[in-house]
Chains A and B, each alone.
Chain A
């Protein structure tokens, strides 16, 4: 257990990708970073570059056009990585499940580690999802949190 393993769990960097969400979960995911919820106190920083990220936060259902982008983004994140599907749409397609341009939940395209339901998912639920993902990552690495 080296310093990289420990710091990955103590200070995970996240990247956010909006598939074709209604923005509801996006603004809630952003609200997590702002003073009321302030996840930065746990060392969580929002990154723009997939190559710097540990955790991929996905909102919205996958449609035919974003599927390729999402696969590409997932492939660019270095291992070990965690994927969190935020919101009912990202989990299963939600209200859009029978729309003609929708493939369904995020798990149709990339493997998902943690599902956060809710429309829109509340910031508390998103933080809880990130904590669960980190526990999973710690277990996978054999590091005690």
Chain B
């Protein structure tokens, strides 16, 4: 029997820009055991939210994660609006949906690029990130910032879309859709991509349910579960059908995200077409009453859960956030043992880990 070796994967690793450590025990290139060590990204945002006033927390919550920042800010506003409760105007609901889907598009394109980088397909990484820059330009034009948009306020949104911006959005989104479709065709059919991803890190349907996975990781294992099925914001008025694959391997997870990229663009185009006229926010004054509220929304990585408790003062009594990667990390413990050491980066990346979300 070959001797066992323990190799650290992280906290500084070229594949994963974020600090997480996986202690990998291997025997002859075969992984035997994996032990994740987390805590490198912990800042204490939940506690910090109790010290700030309600409107200031939007900016803090957006900085839980810089990739899905837009949806974090929107979800925080939604949960705080439920403390009163406040009903926001229909135009604000549509605008929140449009920005959510725009950030999903950029997040998925970013991940597809990182996956290509993980198996050494450098030119595909560059191409995906080139397309992504167009989406970032749209975010900058409509919301004013590339990464942390802060477009949501309690009671609606901060900015409106004018006719010219709407026209430009539709034009660029169609272009992005066409270009990503071509590139996704390469990703889905290329021989080398398939050789590196098909059958790697298989997660069965029962395992995915038992481990409580979320988002594309869950949907790639054949479970039809998506928070957008609750029809919150404008999703009730849009044609939405969750994307499900059944193989449960790294390839299926890549295909789910690739198809979701195109679906997110379609949802944006549909929402832009149906955008109702009216106000973009309602004025909310005073402090919310002593009350509790929850809200779940679908992030690029899966379901994010917010719980808020107010006590009638200007500060929150408690804010609890459960993020999708927290639910997905246990699946690595099932997927990694038995795989080749060289496949570890791809499998670890296939759950789209977001450590700053997980540890806050």
Which residues of A are at the interface with B, using a C-beta cutoff of 8 A?
15-28, 30-31, 34-36, 46-48, 50, 61, 63, 65-66, 69, 73, 95-96, 98-102, 119-120, 122
Contacts and interface: CB of A to CB of B under 8 A. Distances in A.
Contacts of B13: 48
B354 interface: yes
Contacts of A26: 17-18, 66
Contact of B19 (A19, A61, A100, A102): A19
Nearest to A96: B43
Interface of chain B, main secondary structure: loop
Contacts of B136: 31
Given A23-B354, A120-B146, A69 B40 contact: yes
Nearest to B64: A22
B60 A120 contact: no
A86 to B, nearest CB: 12
B110 interface: yes
Interface residues of B, number: 40
Sorted nearest first, the 5 A-B pairs with minimum C-beta distance are A24-B66, A48-B14, A34-B129, A23-B66, A99-B44
Interface stretch (B45-53, B91-99, B220-228, B280-288): B45-53
B41 A28 contact: no
B251 interface: no
A16 B17 CA distance: 8
Contacts of B39: 65
A59 to B, nearest CB: 9
Given A24-B148, A120-B148, A122-B146, A99 B45 contact: yes
Nearest to A101: B44
B40 A20 contact: yes
B69 A24 contact: yes
Residue with the greatest number of chain B CB neighbours at <10 A, chosen from A22, A61, A63, A66: A22
A44 to B, nearest CB: 15
Contacts of A66: 11, 19, 40
Nearest to B359: A20
Contacts of A96: 43-45, 48, 63
B11 A69 contact: yes
A100 B147 contact: no
Nearest to A97: B48
A102 B12 CA distance: 19
Nearest to A87: B66
A66 B42 CA distance: 10
Among A34, A46, A98: residue with most chain B CB under 10 A: A34
Contacts of A17: 12
Given A34-B129, A100-B47, 5 more contacts: A20-B359, A21-B41, A23-B18, A24-B69, A27-B66
B130 interface: yes
A24 B63 contact: yes
Contacts of A69: 11-12, 19, 40
22 contacts: A17-B12, A18-B18, A22-B65, A22-B66, A22-B69, A23-B17, A23-B66, A24-B147, A26-B66, A27-B66, A30-B17, A31-B133, A34-B125, A34-B130, A46-B14, A65-B40, A69-B11, A69-B19, A99-B45, A99-B47, A99-B48, A120-B66
Contact of B147 (A34, A36, A63, A120): A120
A68 B125 CA distance: 32
Contacts of B110: 27
B59 interface: yes
A84 B18 CA distance: 17
A46 B19 CA distance: 17
A102 B44 CA distance: 8
B7 interface: no
Contacts of B65: 22-23
B17 A18 contact: yes
B67 interface: yes
Contacts of A99: 43-45, 47-48
Nearest to A24: B66
A48 B12 CA distance: 8
Given A34-B133, A95-B59, A20 B42 contact: yes
Contact of A22 (B19, B125, B130, B356): B356
